[in-house]
Amino acid sequence: MGEVLPQQKRRGLLFVLSSPSGAGKTTLGRRLLEGEGPALRMSVSLTTRPARPGETDGEDYWFVDEARFGELREQGGLLEWAQVFGNYYGTPRKQVEASLAAGHDVLFDVDWQGARQLAEAMADDVVRVFILPPSAQILESRLTSRNQDSAEVVALRMAQASGEISHWNEYDYVVVNQEIDRSIMQLQAILAAERLKRVRQTGLTNLVEDLQRALGQSVWH
């Protein structure tokens, strides 16, 4: 059997998915997490809204009051934040930076505004992917088939989709989600390529130095 070599150290990345409602972002993110295992973790957000039945602090959200949220925001402790229906949501900087330093990738399911804030805060670590539906008709069909919204809400989401899609060119990659398995393969390919970028492989410097040292010695022996 060949020699088993230690895995090279690398820095993690922020894998950001955005899409209009109904394009499949949540389903793709869930499937991606299942397939990638512990190397990819879902970002856990802070929120000021009360916990719902069955939600666990630190797993579903970090539940804090508005005073604590405001304190973290003012101190630069949030990578991104937003107010939604009177409640605040944000991404804690400390936990994300610890995950990246340990070589873990962090998955984000955010809109274009959240993606923009993350890119401004950690430009070198962010990989942004926009998920597009293959057509407006398919998007409407997916929204309707979920049976979660009234016809009026579906119409509102369709109207909002145009504005969300207008930000597609701010992203590094675009995946047209026509078929789930194909889209998952594309997302996995993006992850694999981004993980291999030289700047993220923090163990390469030592490896190259060791190689050069060993090769230099072999010249004289």
> pLDDT by residue (tens digit) across 131-165?
999 999 988 888 888 766 778 888 888 888 989 99
Indicate whether 200 pLDDT > 50.
yes
* Residue 102: predicted pLDDT: 93
Checking if the pLDDT of 191 tops 70, the result is yes
- pTM, two decimals, is 0.85
Tokens 């070198």 belong to which residue?
A: 124
CA distance readout (Å), 26 to 19, 89, 153: 9, 18, 19
Distance CA 158, CA 120 (A): 28
Mean pLDDT of 111-120: 94
List, in sequence order, the alpha helices (H) in 37-130: 66-74, 93-101, 112-121
